[in-house]
Amino acid sequence: MKKFIALIGLATMLVAGSVNAQQVSEENPYVMIKEVANKTFERIKNNQSTLEDNPEQLRTIMKEELLPYTDYQFAAFKVLGKHAASVPRDKLSTFVQVFREYLITTYAVAMSYYDNQEVIFEPASEVGDSTYVVVRAIIKDPSRPEIKVAFKVRKNSKTNEWKAFDMVAEGISMLDSKRSEFESIIRQQSIDKVIELMREKIDNPLEMKEEMEEAQGPA
């Protein structure tokens, strides 16, 4: 059960990234997402033994591979929703920067469950003048049901760069889930509490989940 839930978390890391930005197609978001995912998984495979000794390196990989193609600022504002207008400018800046590190940690935790699952992307389509697309894929695991995922990607009107900002797994949006979670905390306490909770997660040491589950036994 833990691994099945983790697969949904694993899908989150597929939102975007690259080993080398120049090697990833920026013209078609469908191609970009697929290339990014393949390159990221390949790096994880090639560094598996090192990661087992030092799981913290997952954060470095996520920062280098995923962050360049993740629109974390747009995602941060979407998560805040209506509260973005009332948060003081200095607190808003802090929230965005902490949210950036929070995403890196979220990706790293998800990747600690990675066990060579197969990801099949839909064929690339013509984008035309669109500035927003949804890239769909299926995560396959031989021992579990398929998971349908969709990646929301937008084109920045100023830079013309495509970046992903949300992922939907089996109908559940990552941003919607976080907005619902954070909204109640902001309403009942403050934006400071949300920042505090994100920092707590960031400060937690990473562990390889496969090793943890083997040590703990079946859930």
Residues 129-175 have pLDDT tens digits of: 999 999 998 888 888 888 888 989 999 888 888 999 998 888 888 88
Write out the E strands in the chain. Answer: 118-121, 132-141, 144-155, 162-169, 172-173
Question: Which residue's structure tokens are 């995923």?
Answer: 66
The fraction of the chain above a pLDDT of 70, given in percent, is: 82
User: Is 86 exposed, middle or buried (CB count within 10 Å of its CB: 0-12, 13-18, 19+)?
Assistant: exposed
Q: Which of 96, 97, 99 is nearest to 107 (CA)?
A: 99
Answer yes or no: is pLDDT of 14 > 60.
no
Q: One-letter amino acid identity for 100?
A: R
pTM above 0.85, yes or no: no
- Residue in 181, 10, 14, 195 with CA at minimum distance from that of residue 87: 195
Give backbone dihedrals phi and psi of 164, rounded to 5 degrees, phi first: -90, 150
Q: Which helix (H) or strand (E) holds 179?
A: helix 174-188
Local confidence band at 2 (pLDDT 50, 70, 90 cut-offs): very low
pLDDT in tens, 44-103: 888 888 888 898 988 998 888 888 888 999 999 999 999 999 999 999 999 999 999 998
pLDDT value at position 213? 45
